């Protein structure tokens, strides 16, 4: 077995003898099942409501709790990666995920099912940043684009396929099979990981600042919960604005503390690197639009076009397949060309899709929707290379912090974006119905819903225009890649 060693000259871990392919397979399989489970219950919620005799607001906790735990845990993964070896963290994550899957799959009550989902979420919060950090370490800068393309494939395709797979399984088998089917994949991932994964990062084991962990938990947890719950409870609910207030105050104190203490759990000084900060901003803006579209489009299909949840999943499947194909291609192109050549056209494609969605009506054909969604997903694959570009700007000691920042802010962006766009859709519908001469007319109700969705997609287009302007400030030359090559040559 190939073992990693420390180079006596640099004190860094020598990864030159590692077998990269099996390591990537193990990590990608783990990330795939973890991210797939974020959306796998989408078409099963109604069935689960009847199975456990609970309300819609109660069943929604299966999704809200999952997002909440991931949002809370990801920020501290940078610290965990300095205390645990790559192998330890991977095995902890995957064994935890297996345990959560078994708990959920055999759950006799809703409470037990919720516990299983929370345990799964703990693993998801660990595995994604670990995957990204490992790739940054073992892959040379000039080949990271192609490898990150595989990550983009998993991160975008797995959650997108979830609703379709869910519909097929619920219709043909039993909801418990949503959990049973991933068990063999998890076991294979664990077996490959046990054989091939070795430590790839230096363990510094810094002093743990427990107050920072508490502030991070309250801050990110409060933000994710408040925006996630606002759709059901409304912003006037004390739980929602109370959580938002606690989250905001905690986050402000957390930021100040990270900048002052000697061993921060999240190194915010990474934002001093201009192109990293620009890339983070770009990804956050685009992800807000993406998460909202992934929520709004199925809602439009089911409430306006009156298609079933399963059929709506089928309609969105071609776009997911195309994105899976385009992810690695976009990554390879990123390795060959400057960031602007890849990212800017990607944003233009996303903007084009948003512009077309802005004009969506009950008369829009299924084929048109499939094409629009496919254009969106292709553009997104090109835009996601901005994440690789941003991380390339950092020095190796900041990799865990950079990946944690990207993953955390994507979770927060998803929660905030979904809340904003659904709120815009609801307010647009209400405004139309208030001005309608005959609000009880079924046709007018349909027009009101359509107006709400059009307004939400129009807002998404504005976000993408902002992202386009931001992308123009990206530097043509990938300076981080050059710097990384110099560092590798020195060591």
Taking only the tens place, the pLDDT of each residue in 130-144 is: 887 888 777 777 677
SS3 content of the chain, % helix, strand, coil (to 5): 80, 0, 20
Domain ranges of the chain: 1-205, 209-264, 269-491
The most confident of 45-54, 218-227, 365-374, 391-400, by mean pLDDT: 365-374
Compute the mean pLDDT over every residue in the chain, rounded to the nearest whole number: 81
Helices 366-383 and 339-358: crossing angle in degrees, nearest 10, is: 150
Does residue 398 sit in helix, strand or coil? helix
Give 263's pLDDT tier (boundaries 50, 70, 90): confident
pLDDT of residue 16: 57
CA dist 366 and 316 (Å) reads 10
Above 70 in pLDDT, residue 46?
A: yes
Give 102's pLDDT tier (boundaries 50, 70, 90): very high
CA dist 173 and 215 (Å) reads 44
pLDDT tens by residue, 111-128: 999 999 999 999 988 888
According to DSSP, the β-strands at 5-6 and 13-14 are: antiparallel
The most confident of 67-81, 149-163, 184-198, 434-448, by mean pLDDT: 184-198
What is the CB neighbour count within 10 angstroms for residue 139?
A: 17
Fold agreement (1-205, 269-491): yes
Computed on alpha carbons and rounded to an integer, the radius of gyration of the chain in Å comes to 22
The mean pLDDT of 3-32, rounded to a whole number, is 65
Above 80 in pLDDT, residue 159?
A: no
Nearest to 207 by CA among 165, 261, 156, 279: 261
Residue 63 Cα to chain centre, angstroms: 14
The mean pLDDT of 223-239, rounded to a whole number, is 77
CA dist 320 and 299 (Å) reads 17
Nearest to 285 by CA among 476, 421, 479: 421
The mean pLDDT of 414-427, rounded to a whole number, is 79
pLDDT of residue 107: 93
Distances (CA, A) of 330 to 205, 238, 343, 354, 468: 37, 45, 9, 21, 18
269-491 has CATH 1.20.1250.20 classification? yes
Identify whether the C-beta of residue 70 lies closer than 8 Å to the C-beta of residue 93.
no
Identify whether the C-beta of residue 151 lies closer than 8 Å to the C-beta of residue 135.
yes
CA angle 9, 10, 16 (to 5 degrees): 95
- Between the CA atoms of 162, 165, 171 and 174, what dihedral angle is there, to the nearest 10 degrees? -80
Q: Where are the alpha helices (DSSP H) in 384-398?
A: 385-392
What is the CB neighbour count within 10 angstroms for residue 455?
A: 20
CA dist 445 and 248 (Å) reads 38
What's the CATH number for 1-205? 1.20.1250.20
Nearest to 141 by CA among 339, 388, 489, 337: 388
pLDDT of residue 432: 77
CA dist 258 and 212 (Å) reads 8
CA angle 419, 420, 425 (to 5 degrees): 100
Which residue is listed with tokens 């996303």?
350
Q: Which residues are bridge partners to 14 per DSSP?
A: 5
Above 80 in pLDDT, residue 18?
A: no
pLDDT of residue 9: 38
Give 11's pLDDT tier (boundaries 50, 70, 90): very low
């Amino acid at each position: 077995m190939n073992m990693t060693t420390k180079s006596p000259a640099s004190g860094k871990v020598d990864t030159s003898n590692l077998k990269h392919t099996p390591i990537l397979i193990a990590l990608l399989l783990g990330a795939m099942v973890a991210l797939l489970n974020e959306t796998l219950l989408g078409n099963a919620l109604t069935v689960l409501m009847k199975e456990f005799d609970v309300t819609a607001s109660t069943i929604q906790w299966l999704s809200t709790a999952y997002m909440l735990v991931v949002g809370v845990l990801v920020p501290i993964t940078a610290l965990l990666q300095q205390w645990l070896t790559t192998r330890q963290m991977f095995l902890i994550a995957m064994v935890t995920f297996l345990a959560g899957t078994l708990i959920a799959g055999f759950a006799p009550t809703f409470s037990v099912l919720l516990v299983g989902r929370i345990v799964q979420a703990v693993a998801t919060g660990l595995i994604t940043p670990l995957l990204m950090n490992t790739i940054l370490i073992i892959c040379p800068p000039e080949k990271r684009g192609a490898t990150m393309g595989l990550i983009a494939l998993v991160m975008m395709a797995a959650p997108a396929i979830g609703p379709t797979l869910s519909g097929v399984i619920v219709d043909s088998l039993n909801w418990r099979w949503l959990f049973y089917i991933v068990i063999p994949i998890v076991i294979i991932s664990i077996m490959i990981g046990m054989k091939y994964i070795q430590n790839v990062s230096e363990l510094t084991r810094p002093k743990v600042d427990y107050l920072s962990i508490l502030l991070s938990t309250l801050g990110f947890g409060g933000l994710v919960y408040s925006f996630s719950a606002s759709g059901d409870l409304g912003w006037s609910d004390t739980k929602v604005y109370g959580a938002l207030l606690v989250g905001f105050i905690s986050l402000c104190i957390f930021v100040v503390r990270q900048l002052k203490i000697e061993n921060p759990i999240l190194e915010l000084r990474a934002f001093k690197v201009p192109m990293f900060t620009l890339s983070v901003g770009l990804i956050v803006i685009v992800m807000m639009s993406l998460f909202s579209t992934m929520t709004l489009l199925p809602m439009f299909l089911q409430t306006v076009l009156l298609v079933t949840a399963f059929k709506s999943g089928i309609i969105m499947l071609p776009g997911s397949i195309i994105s899976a194909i385009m992810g690695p291609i976009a990554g390879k192109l990123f390795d060959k060309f400057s960031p602007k050549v890849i990212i800017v056209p990607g944003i233009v494609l996303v903007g084009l899709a948003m512009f077309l969605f802005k004009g969506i009506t009950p008369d829009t054909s299924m084929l048109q929707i499939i094409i629009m969604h496919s254009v969106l997903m292709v553009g997104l694959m090109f835009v996601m290379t901005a994440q690789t570009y941003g991380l390339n700007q950092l020095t190796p000691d900041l990799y865990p912090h950079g990946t944690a920042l990207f993953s955390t802010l994507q979770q927060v962006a998803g929660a905030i974006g979904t809340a904003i766009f659904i709120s815009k859709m609801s307010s647009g519908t209400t405004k139309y119905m208030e001005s309608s001469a005959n609000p009880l007319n079924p046709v007018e109700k349909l027009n009101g819903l359509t107006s709400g969705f059009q307004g939400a997609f129009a807002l998404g287009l504005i976000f993408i225009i902002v992202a386009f302007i931001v992308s123009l400030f990206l530097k043509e030359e990938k300076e981080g890649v050059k710097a990384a090559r110099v560092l590798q040559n020195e060591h």
